[in-house]
Structure 1
């Protein structure tokens, strides 16, 4: 995570969860992340192919030129990128990993901007992950950002962060040129103030209230 918004939201989520795999949805206090709220969103898992935005901050909607509420996350990307996102979200859901994604979004007329998206798992009414707290942070902020709709979106790179002690499995970081063949990359260790994480890189072109 490179962007301040991502780091702040992750720290809040990590402190809130304590020794659990993920905090509960109702534990999220908007006042505690007031400065990040315009850049945050809540996703709801409907099924494997549908991750619906329940809430999306004003700066997110302004940056992309549309209201994301009610939209399917996977429907915002190409079939290839959607397939990768579905696989990554499946691991975030089943193993309470944290997803960090870099995307490029353009207006189709030569103007483009890069964003860092962080997705953090949340428990809801059952002992399973069904909600997700996330943020969208521009990596570069061109002067025209927010003035034109960004209608074309593509996945640039992705990684999963595994809190120490979580269940681990083979990581499906897919090669973008051969999307049906998973590849496992070397892991590196990242330490936070509270605990240690194992990070798997994805590679460049290789790849209030809903209670």
Structure 2
């Protein structure tokens, strides 16, 4: 089955703000989607890395719907840098390629994904499909989103918080995502079948 056939219902649910489909997608695999908020404010992002990235994104966008990708300066993201992913949009937002994969995220994940595609993470499993669907909708809406999910017990971190901020090209279309991914605490993993 094409991964787009799997992701399309997730994209449709995201566009309709239908949490039931998203929750079922996660709970059927032993995971949970704790939070998913479009246009998040600082109260949802109290962690310094998320707070800084969100404030910076708003500062450089000014009166525009989103900042230009060319406006981003890694120097100005220093407080969040180890957790920052820069993802170039591919295939109309159905996939993306990591231009930058933060060192702290790479440590937690166990691999540096710089230069590789989002669809290559964990063999494009259920979580990767959900987040690819979220990236697709961020590309369509041009709006930031905050998510918080708990992976199943066979994953070595208790949670991931993710802030996805769209960046535009000169024509105003989303061409890149600035994402800040914060892992929860480490935990001993429990054996499980690989979630699909």
- Normalising by structure 1, we get a TM-score of 0.59
Asked whether the equivalents of residues 167 and 177 of structure 2 are also in contact (C-alpha less than 8 Å), the reply is yes
Aligned partner (choices 142, 147, 151) of residue 101 of structure 1: 147
Counterparts of 2:110 and 2:133 in 1: how far apart (Å)? 27
Instruction: Please say if 1:116 is aligned against 2:161.
Output: yes
Structure-2 residue corresponding to 1:188: none
RMSD: 2.9
Deviation at 1:5, TM superposition (A): 1.2
Aligned partner (choices 166, 175, 185) of residue 141 of structure 1: 185
Structure of greater relative contact order (alpha carbons < 8 Å, 6+ residues apart): 2
Aligned partner (choices 144, 154, 172) of residue 127 of structure 1: 172
| Secondary structure of residue in 2 paired with 1:113 | coil
Report 1:1-211 matches (<5 A).
1-2=44-45, 3-47=47-91, 48-76=93-121, 79-105=125-151, 108=154, 111-138=156-183, 140-142=184-186
Counterparts of 1:37 and 1:98 in 2: how far apart (Å)? 18
Higher share of residues assigned strand: 1
Counterparts of 1:59 and 1:82 in 2: how far apart (Å)? 19
Total equivalences in the alignment? 146
Asked whether the equivalents of residues 105 and 153 of structure 1 are also in contact (C-alpha less than 8 Å), the reply is no
Counterparts of 1:66 and 1:130 in 2: how far apart (Å)? 25
- Normalising by structure 2, we get a TM-score of 0.63
Structure-1 residue corresponding to 2:30: none
Higher share of residues assigned helix: 2
Counterparts of 2:51 and 2:95 in 1: how far apart (Å)? 26
Runs (5+) with no aligned partner, structure 2: 1-43, 189-193
| Secondary structure of residue in 1 paired with 2:181 | strand
Alpha-carbon spacing, 1:50–1:125, altered in 2? closer, same or farther (3 Å)? same
Counterparts of 2:59 and 2:182 in 1: how far apart (Å)? 21
| Secondary structure of residue in 1 paired with 2:79 | coil
Deviation at 1:30, TM superposition (A): 1.6
